[in-house]
Amino acid sequence: MPELPEVETTVEGLRSVLEGATLTRVEPRRADLRFPIPVDLRQRLTGATVTGLSRRAKYGLIGTDRGDTLIFHLGMSGRWRIDPVEIGAHDHLLIETGAGRRLALNDPRRFGSLDLVRSETWESHGPFTRMGPEPLGPDFTPAALAQALAGKATSIKAALLDQRIVAGLGNIYVCEALNMAGIAPIRAAGKIGRPRLALLVEAIREVLSAAIVAGGSTLRDYARPDGELGYFSKQWRVYGQEGEACPCGGTVRRRVDGGRSTFYCPECQK
């Protein structure tokens, strides 16, 4: 599933084509993805000018001069294609601009979503109402993380995957950050001291920033909008590296928690 760095990379790719562009064609090619596509999406967006693009957690936001914001989620296999030569069966939304550019939202598994809300109310839209701070934003601090984790007996890995604690983190980057910070994924979240949480916040920021620079990680169907693959997978410390050497010299192990694979090093993660 595309995670925060992949969505950030996607938004940046779309920005180069859409920002300031007038949408001359907006064509949903089916009635739903994971959820129904707004029936008036074509009417409200055709002729609108894009005023800005941004990201919240794993969602992309496309604002327009009509006061509407298109919110997209890539689900498990979704990606935008820029100027595709041919339109395929899994291209479920087509957008064309006045400059002659074309975009297609491709989602073979249809676990993604599209929604259209008034721009002034998007923060109160369903998935955003209980989200924690952005991990790359100023509100994500060791003090804030300590407060959010206080008294929690759940594992630190499970806590970091909870979007109410911090928004946008997924399995890959949580495994990587915990390894970088030297924290065992099964440690009780509420019992980790402030100095170690400071290391964890720094590791999360470092891992996400490096992944964005590398264009994200390539998992299954994910690719950047320009068709290029993300290369952060070549920098993975532990994720997908079972039996390989950790940077510390130990051996990476894998365990399954709640149906998710956790990769960690028992030598350096305590």
Q: Where in the chain is the domain with CATH 3.20.190.10?
A: 4-128
Q: Which CATH architecture has domain 142-264?
A: Orthogonal Bundle (1.10)
pLDDT tens digits, residue range 76-119?
889 999 999 999 999 999 999 999 999 999 999 999 999 999 99
- Determine the pLDDT at residue 3: 85
Asked whether 66 and 51 are in contact (CB, 8 A), the reply is no
3-state secondary structure 69-99: EEEEECCCCCEEEECCCCCCCCEEEEEEECC
CATH of domain 4-128: 3.20.190.10
Return left, alpha or beta for 47; rule: phi > 0 is left, psi -120 to 50 is alpha, else beta: left
- Determine the pLDDT at residue 1: 66
Classify the C-alpha dihedral 168-221-157-206 as positive or negative: negative
- Determine the pLDDT at residue 257: 86
**Residue-level pLDDT, tens digit, the chain, 270 residues:** 678 998 999 999 999 999 999 999 999 999 999 999 999 999 999 999 999 999 999 999 999 999 999 999 999 889 999 999 999 999 999 999 999 999 999 999 999 999 999 999 999 998 899 999 999 999 999 999 999 999 999 999 999 999 999 999 999 999 999 999 999 999 999 999 999 999 999 999 999 999 888 775 544 444 556 655 444 566 789 999 999 999 999 999 999 988 899 999 999 999
SS3 content of the chain, % helix, strand, coil (to 5): 30, 25, 45
Q: Where in the chain is the domain with CATH 1.10.8.50?
A: 142-264
Residue among 126, 131, 99 at smallest CA distance from 115: 126
Residues assigned a catalytic role? 2-3, 58, 260
- Determine the pLDDT at residue 227: 56
* Tokens matching residue 41: 């999406």
pTM of this prediction?
Answer: 0.90
